[in-house]
């Protein structure tokens, strides 16, 4: 058994792949395996992977899909192949600090953690190829905890898999929904909800790249997947006996997540989808959380931002103007 398995789906990231792989093969944690799933990539990624697999045959395992399967399938496949005591996920256009997995594994073992978090750098790729760091709120260092004891993690933690280390047993029975966008939020949420002990390494160890044509900015009809993903998250949280104690945080998380995507409809090219999605978000909140406008946590948000978010017409005007 390896100490850590790192799962890396690869699709159309030739431009960034070497930087990602170099950050992984140079990890100071030696007892590590790098599981790469090449998802029928149309670029030169396969040739790059052949070189690295040959050079680092003791660390790298490459699997090739005969057809494009999508990131959810690839991550699930990687988890089945992983032999590590702990599992990490890295996107192939991102990269990590060379000490990341050593530090996170050491923290996990020392404190017997199911889930370890770290902070991250958010890097914006400009049109000329240069990088600019975007300031993001860091997670404050906290004592080892659970979601029941610290429900604000629902709002403070980025619901993405790449700045975390998961005990393999924690992921038993957990899988990424395939063929859905935003599928990673479900796995992160389930891991947080089920973890008996969560800890943090208070350093920025991951570099998350925002590309100009990133999937997170491309808006199409797949945005409707957000409703199914949201239902999955709420269903998971309702299955725990501490749900009533954290309900206000669940409501605030749902408000924030859905409004993030109403405002991102400014990238939506189809006006009909944009307006329909915004309408459906308000319908969803009114049905699931009838008193959402009174949520004390959400009401701490900047007044003007809250004013736009809470008004359907203002949201639509914002998306048109900006």
What pLDDT is attached to residue 1? Answer: 86
Above 90 in pLDDT, residue 281? yes
Determine the pLDDT at residue 216: 53
Beta strands in 51-130 (DSSP E): 60-64, 86-89, 95-96, 115-125
Return the higher-pLDDT residue of 287 and 213.
287
Give the span between the Cα atoms of 12 and 238, in whole angstroms. Answer: 38
pLDDT at position 218: 66
State residue 307's pLDDT score.
97
> What's the pLDDT at 129?
87
Q: Cα 227 from chain centroid? A: 17
Q: What is the mean pLDDT of residues 20-44?
A: 97
pLDDT reading at 98 higher than 70: yes
Please compute the mean of the pLDDT values over residues 122-151 and round it to a whole number: 95
List strand residue ranges (DSSP E) for 218-258, in order.
none
203 has pLDDT over 60 = yes
Each residue of 210-265: pLDDT tens digit? 987 654 556 889 999 999 999 999 999 999 999 999 999 999 999 999 999 999 99
Longest CA span, the chain: 59
């Amino acid at each position: 058994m390896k100490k850590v398995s790192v799962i890396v789906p690869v699709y159309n990231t030739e431009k960034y792949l070497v930087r990602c792989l170099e950050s992984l093969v140079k990890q100071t944690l030696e007892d590590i395996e790098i599981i790469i799933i090449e998802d029928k990539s149309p670029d030169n990624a396969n040739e790059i992977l052949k070189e690295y697999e040959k050079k680092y045959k003791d660390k790298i395992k490459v699997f090739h899909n005969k057809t494009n399967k999508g990131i959810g399938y690839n991550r699930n496949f990687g988890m089945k192949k992983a032999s590590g005591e702990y599992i990490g996920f890295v996107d192939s256009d991102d990269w990590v600090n060379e000490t990341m997995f050593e530090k996170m594994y050491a923290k996990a073992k020392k404190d017997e953690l199911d889930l370890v978090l770290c902070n991250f750098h958010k890097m914006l790729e400009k049109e000329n190829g240069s990088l600019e760091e975007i300031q993001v709120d860091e997670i404050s260092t906290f004592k080892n905890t659970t979601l029941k004891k610290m429900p604000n993690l629902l709002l403070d933690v980025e619901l993405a898999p790449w700045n975390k280390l998961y005990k393999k047993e924690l992921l038993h029975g957990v899988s990424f929904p395939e063929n859905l966008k935003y599928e990673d939020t479900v796995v992160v949420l389930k891991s947080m909800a089920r973890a008996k002990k969560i800890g943090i390494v208070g350093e920025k160890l991951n570099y998350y790249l925002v590309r100009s044509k990133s999937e997170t900015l491309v808006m199409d009809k797949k945005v409707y997947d957000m409703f199914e993903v949201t239902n999955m998250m709420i269903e998971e949280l309702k299955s725990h006996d501490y749900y009533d104690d954290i309900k206000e945080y669940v409501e605030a998380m749902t408000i924030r997540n859905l409004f993030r995507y109403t405002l991102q409809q400014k990238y939506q090219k189809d006006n009909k989808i944009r307006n329909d999605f915004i309408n459906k978000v308000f319908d969803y909140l009114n049905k699931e959380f009838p008193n959402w406008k009174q949520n004390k946590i959400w009401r701490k948000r900047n007044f003007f931002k809250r004013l736009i978010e809470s008004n359907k017409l203002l949201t639509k005007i914002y998306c048109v103007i900006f």
